[in-house]
Structure 1
Amino acid sequence: MTGHVPPTALPGELLERPDVRSALAAHDFGTVFHVARAEAGISYSQIAAECGIKPERVGTLARGDGKVTSFEKIVRIADALRIPGHLVGLAARPWETPAEAVDAGRRDFLKTSAAASLAVGLPELSRPSTGGRVGSDLPEQLRQRTARLRRLDDVLGGGDTYRTYLGEYQRTRSLLRHRSYTEATGRGLLSVLAEQAQQAGWAAFDGGWHAEARGLYEASQKAADDAGDAELAGNALAFLAYQGLRGDGRERQGAVQTAARSCATAGADAAPGVRALLYERLAWAHAVAGHGDETERALDAAGAALGEIDGEPQPDWAAWVDETELQIMAGRCWTELRRPLRAVPVLESALARYDDSHARDKALYLSWLADSYLTAGEVEQAATVTGRALDLSSGVASVRPRERLEPVLARLGEHQALPAVADILEQARA
């Protein structure tokens, strides 16, 4: 993607103009299309072809009639016109140069400080011995390194971490291809590769690069199968199910089946933390599909698995699942199922213990709380919570908070006569 510059790429001087920047911030792509044709010589037919929009629709938008609201279309337009992500509320796109990818000061500070803290104590990798053969300790070194780098995801979005995680995955894949090792070491390297592919896939998903995410999840499943690592194979399926829930009714039903298969693949002998994670994701799949009873059973299974941990170490990639995270997932599920009397208390309780330093995740979780308040008819409270989510998500290199908040803001728009709501809608536009 970085090597191909589409014919619709906007010149840098246009992107610097205040009127164009204002239009981009408001997602007023009709104005942008008009300027692109009038001042950059980019025809509407070219824009239509690159953006996947019907030519007549491009002309209609350019005349000021209608607006682009689909998240996928906004991403497609940004990539086709080479609009840096931060100008339209997205994470940095894969084709952006480091200079173009610079975002808010907080994000840069967090990125620098997080990277610096990770550098301290990051396991050093031993060099392959003479002849290109790697030692039996290398898989464990790589696993510790992967666990350390995973902490970046606590404070940064996928737009910041994707290249780092992808680089780790590619390095391990190169080792597997070009070095020699024992059969046991090879299985260990494949297991680490599966783990790294999942982390890179998650960052891609968080950054809005869904084709890349799916490819990495599928590669992870194959590596885990080849390594004989049932737990990681199950988690790869859980990631694929999570992504499949973005689709229509048929795709969602398929995602539920994949989520159920993830639990079966990991098996009853999987570590309790792994089973808790997979059952939690199964609950989410059922909730999105509208299956209330199945959702509750899966949440109960996740809670029972958590109760088995009893201080025993769990795989690092599953260790983040605890009682607070399970409460939040339960609240998310009840929100999806339109049961605010169950959702609001658990989300309020859990989020009161959730630190603001986890800005992306807290913004996401607050969006479900705001959604449930709206369903309950508590509009002013929903507006307050939405404002907190907007503040936290500002400058985070993740597409998901904005994606989640869009439908909440649309519902709030029905009550824009209320001053509290009008203020939040203005904040969102800004």
Structure 2
Amino acid sequence: MDATTPGPLAPEVLERDDVKRALAEHDFAAAFALIKKWGGLSQNRIASACQLTPGKVSMIISGQQQVTSFDVICRIADGLRIPGRMVGLADRPWERQPAAPDPPTAPAARSSDDASWRPESTVHLAAELTRSDLVMDRRTATRALAGAAMSGAALLDTLEGWLEPAPAAERVRRRGRIGRREVQELESTARAFRAWDHRFGGGLRRKAVVGQLNEVADHLEEHQAPDVERGLFRVMAHLGGTAATMAWDSGIQKQAQNYYMLALRAAHAGGDAAFGANVLAGMARQMLYRDRPQDALELVHLAQKGAGKAAWPRVRAMLHTREAWAYAALGRSAAFRRATAEAVEALTEANAAEEPYWIAYFDDAELAGVTGGRLLDMARRDPQQHAEDAAEHIRGALATRGAEAGRSYALDLIGLAECYFLMGDVPEAVHQTHRAVDAAARTQSTRVRAQLGQLYPYTVGRSSSRTVGEARSRIREVLSS
């Protein structure tokens, strides 16, 4: 911040340690209060500069509402001329063009929820999100790990636009340089990235996915033929979904949700309701891992309503298992059984030749594994009633898919070991624990290590057993690696 980047704040305000700290921690309640105090800006002036309502600014300052939206953080940075690095963003456009005037106040419709579902808004979000991610330094990455994903009404309200038809784009752009062949090549790349993540997990190629996503956004900034544009949005949706899964698997929850939102908007712009439902299912899974089953159930129902008849049998089956997962977490065993039965019925109608590649993973083995995992959730509360049933389903999954399944295979083995501990069969539990440790060591998945960490307590307090002690040591080695 200097004299060449004029803004409503004097340079010395952004040089204050308390202001720097508040911005770095995304504590906008403190940041706005300090800006009012030291910058001399009224609440209304802050609201006008940041394209927010005065009421929203008031709620932020009072702590009644947190700033979790990537779009809002960008508006705050641009409106108050806060350098991107101070809030964990890439350099803002006005930083690269120091003589540029303050950005004009956007029309109210541009900052509304409806405007965010316009195709051009989706392209802008992709460009900003990927650019910021690609230049993220170690300190910013550490802060990102602590970021909390939105949940509850704040999340669900932002997704309602998915149920409405995609509005037509209102823009004149340069003529595009690519055709259907190039789009097909991009589709192949997106498919390869998805296969890599499904097998290994852990986000080892996340930056490569984000870079490819940024390239697709660049193509969409140009004028493309309608079929090419639609294809590019679908590629963006697939890449966004993979980037979300990789970020989530690496423990970056807020960034994962940002990419899920981008993937959903891109699927909406590309007219791919089935993949949009798949994205919502991914968001539901994230909520389930965060112990927000009611939010997850709402997301699944939104997916089922939005996809409607566009959903293939495998997609419907997968959505029913997410629904069953939420019911299991809520302790609704009858609803869990009903949803699971509906998943089984839907899967019997599946025809691999007619369905897209991205849902091919959901087969009988996946259904057995997911069902076994949910029964294991219930077995932790009532081992006698559910543990053996859970083990049977997980054994069925393992019998069908082998070590090449990577992350899923490791999660199955961890779950099976826990089942045997719950049933009191310690020798078999130890045997499966060794298999689980071997599989976990071959992945980079944070999620696999988290599940392995939940297995560790079963090996504590049994120090008199040499075999249990060996299993405990092996778990500890993998978790500390």
Question: Are 1:301 and 2:355 an aligned pair?
Answer: no
Q: What is residue 202 of structure 1 aligned with on the other side? A: 245
Q: What is residue 381 of structure 1 aligned with on the other side? A: 428
1:394 to 441, 460, 464: 441
Aligned residues: 306
Helix, strand or coil for the counterpart of 1:245?
Answer: helix
Among all aligned residue pairs of Structure 1 and Structure 2, give the percentage whose two residues are the same amino acid.
Answer: 29
Alignment of 1:23-422 (within 5 A): 131-177=175-221, 179-248=222-291, 251-338=292-379, 339-422=386-469
**1:95 shift after superposition:** 5.0
Helix, strand or coil for the counterpart of 1:301?
Answer: helix
What letter corresponds to residue 354 of structure 2 in structure 1?
P
**1:241 shift after superposition:** 0.9
**Could you report, residue by residue, the CA deviation over 1:29-85 in whole angstroms, capped at 9, with x for unpaired residues?**
xxxxxxxxxxxxxxxxx9xx99xxxxxxxxxxxxxxxxxxxxxxxxxxxxxxxxxxx
Contact 2:397 2:412 in 1 (8 A): no
**1:320 shift after superposition:** 0.9
Distance 1:296 1:95, change over 3 A: farther
**1:131 shift after superposition:** 4.7
Distance 1:246 1:161, change over 3 A: same
C-alpha distance in structure 2 between counterparts of 1:310 and 1:239, whole Å: 23
Distance 1:193 1:311, change over 3 A: closer
What letter corresponds to residue 199 of structure 2 in structure 1?
V
Helix, strand or coil for the counterpart of 1:415?
Answer: coil
Contact 1:259 1:285 in 2 (8 A): no
**Could you report, residue by residue, the CA deviation over 1:329-359 in whole angstroms, capped at 9, with x for unpaired residues?**
1111111111112111121132133222333
Helix, strand or coil for the counterpart of 1:155?
Answer: helix
C-alpha distance in structure 2 between counterparts of 1:155 and 1:223, whole Å: 25
What letter corresponds to residue 473 of structure 2 in structure 1?
E
C-alpha distance in structure 1 between counterparts of 2:137 and 2:438, whole Å: 27
Helix, strand or coil for the counterpart of 2:403?
Answer: coil
Distance 1:342 1:395, change over 3 A: closer
Distance 1:270 1:224, change over 3 A: same
Greater Rg, structure 1 or structure 2? Answer: 2
C-alpha distance in structure 1 between counterparts of 2:259 and 2:304, whole Å: 20
**Could you report, residue by residue, the CA deviation over 1:389-414 in whole angstroms, capped at 9, with x for unpaired residues?**
11111152111111001121112213
Contact 1:263 1:279 in 2 (8 A): no
Structure 1 stretches (4+) deviating beyond 4 angstroms? none
**Could you report, residue by residue, the CA deviation over 1:185-210 in whole angstroms, capped at 9, with x for unpaired residues?**
32222122111100111111112221
Q: Which has the larger displacement, 206-215 or 149-158? A: 149-158
Contact 1:273 1:321 in 2 (8 A): yes
What letter corresponds to residue 220 of structure 1 in structure 2?
A
What letter corresponds to residue 342 of structure 1 in structure 2?
D
Q: What is residue 164 of structure 2 aligned with on the other side? A: none
RMSD: 2.5
Contact 1:134 1:180 in 2 (8 A): no
**Could you report, residue by residue, the CA deviation over 1:150-179 in whole angstroms, capped at 9, with x for unpaired residues?**
2212432233121222222221112112x2
Contact 2:193 2:242 in 1 (8 A): no
Unaligned runs of 5+ in 2: 1-20, 26-135, 139-173, 380-385
What letter corresponds to residue 396 of structure 2 in structure 1?
S
C-alpha distance in structure 1 between counterparts of 2:417 and 2:371, whole Å: 15
